[in-house]
Amino acid sequence: MEATDKFVVSESFLDDVHGQLGCISCHGGQNEPDMQLAHAGMVIQPSAHGMCAPCHGDISATYETALHNTSAGIAQGLERLAYPNTFNNTPELAHVFEEDCTSCHASCGECHVSRARIMGGGVHTNHEFVRQPPMYDSCWGCHGARNAGEYIGNVNGINTIPDVHFTAGMHCADCHDVSNFHGSGEVETGMWDLDTLPSCYDCHSNVYADDSPIDAHRVHDPDSMSCQVCHSLPVNNCTSCHVSADGGSSVSSRMQFKIGLNPNPSEQHPWTYVALRHVPSNADMLSDFGDNLLQNFENIPSFKMSPSHNVQRVTPQNRECARCHGNDRIFLQESDLPADGSPANRDLIVTEIP
């Protein structure tokens, strides 16, 4: 039996530098014809055990502190909700993070040669190592419920309108700097803190120029609203999350478009109005693990600024001025707040419709 049939590898993999190393160079085990002996000591996910570092030491070094590796953004969000509880003084929180949240961690191989565990694992191109991971098998596998799903036009298996950049043939990495995946070498604590996050202005630098041919760009203050306010479609909003002690979880979701006040204005994100997305946090989502673990829940909005990845040039709200101005249906109102959402969401309500 040919190696390409027996080991589910492609012929091109055998010619690749990784194929020439031989199986046991990465996976361990024994070079023996007997299956039991050959598999003794085999490592199923070599990249999760430092096997990439000898050849890719520079990338492995920066990846140590990358968000995809550490899930530090999730840890930061969980501890903000739990404050003054912390992982150090609350074993229940540490347990939830280690057993549930870190499932979002990705090893090098889970992007460059195999599918994410959440998709059932398995190699995605007959063991070929790809420099640019396939968007569906890699990006969508972890981010299919939100950004990658909306970008591709497949939100958890539901067909939606894909982003115009996807339709034009652009890959995630065409906008996202490689440091967004491999890390910068600095300790990273959250997505919005990254200096190299892509901006619409990276390519569309003259949208607010005085001679812009688009009236709406000339008459609006650049700091008044994020680009997504005019150019995104409904996004997936999740509510009522509950994490079970047996490792399962439940959540409700619906597609919705809402404009609200910016929950975290900054120099990088100065806008007054932003597109919002509801995340599934609620006060009782960790009740299986202990009582009152999320003591700061009421002070943290469960609506967040949405980096919507379903951009369109023309949207329902920008077809004409009246579709947005004076239209209270697309601005966050009291009636839009989920019953189990944070009371802090009220701070994002637009009380005076522009």
pLDDT tens profile 188-246? 999 999 999 999 999 999 999 888 899 999 999 999 999 999 999 999 999 999 999 88
Angle in degrees, 0-180, between the axes of helices 72-82 and 91-99, rounded to the nearest 10: 150
Residue 148 CB-half CA count within 13 A:
18
Burial class (CB in 10 A: 0-12, 13-18, 19+), 314: exposed
Does the structure show a pLDDT above 90 at 108?
A: yes
Specify whether the CB–CB gap between 163 and 175 falls below 8 A.
no
- pLDDT tens by residue, 118-162: 777 888 888 889 999 999 989 998 899 999 999 999 998 899 999
What does the mean pLDDT of the chain come to?
92
**DSSP 8-class letter at 123:** B
Amino acid 1: pLDDT:
40
CA of residue 5 relative to chain centroid, distance: 35
Mean pLDDT of 164-174: 97
Angstrom distances, CA of residue 251 to CA of 71, 142, 279, 288: 20, 16, 10, 15
- Find the distance separating the first CA and the last CA of the chain, reported in whole Å: 71
| Residues whose CB falls within 8 Å of the CB of residue 247, separated by 6 or more in sequence, listed in order | 99, 100
Which of the four pLDDT bands, split at 50, 70 and 90, describes residue 2? low
CA of residue 166 relative to chain centroid, distance: 17
| Residues whose CB falls within 8 Å of the CB of residue 172, separated by 6 or more in sequence, listed in order | 135, 139, 148, 151
Pick from 83, 134, 148, 116: nearest CA to 297? 83
Min mean pLDDT across 100-114, 257-271, 289-303 is at 100-114
Burial class (CB in 10 A: 0-12, 13-18, 19+), 235: buried
Specify whether the CB–CB gap between 41 and 28 falls below 8 A.
yes
Q: What is the pTM of this model?
A: 0.91
Q: What's the CA angle centered on 354, arms 216 and 306, to 5 degrees?
A: 75
Amino acid 5: pLDDT:
55
Residue type, 144: G
Measure the CA–CA gap between 146 and 238, rounded to whole angstroms: 10
- The SS3 call for residue 343 is helix
Measure the CA–CA gap between 104 and 191, rounded to whole angstroms: 14
**Longest CA–CA separation in the chain, Å:** 75
Amino acid 335: pLDDT:
96
Amino acid 125: pLDDT:
82
Contacts of 263-271 with C-beta under 8 Å, sequence gap 24+, read 263/301, 263/303, 263/304, 263/305, 263/347, 263/348, 264/192, 264/305, 266/192, 268/192, 268/197, 269/192, 269/226, 269/305, 270/223, 271/223, 271/224, 271/225, 271/226, 271/229
Amino acid 68: pLDDT:
95
Amino acid 7: pLDDT:
62
Amino acid 117: pLDDT:
75
| Residues whose CB falls within 8 Å of the CB of residue 67, separated by 6 or more in sequence, listed in order | 73, 183, 188, 190, 191, 194
Which of the four pLDDT bands, split at 50, 70 and 90, describes residue 6? low
- pLDDT tens by residue, 307-318: 999 999 999 999
State the pairing for strand pair 235-243/158-159: unpaired
Amino acid 33: pLDDT:
86
Measure the CA–CA gap between 210 and 206, rounded to whole angstroms: 9
Backbone angles phi, psi at 323, to 5 degrees: -70, -20
Does the structure show a pLDDT above 70 at 270?
A: yes
Q: How many CB atoms lie within 10 A of CB 191?
A: 13
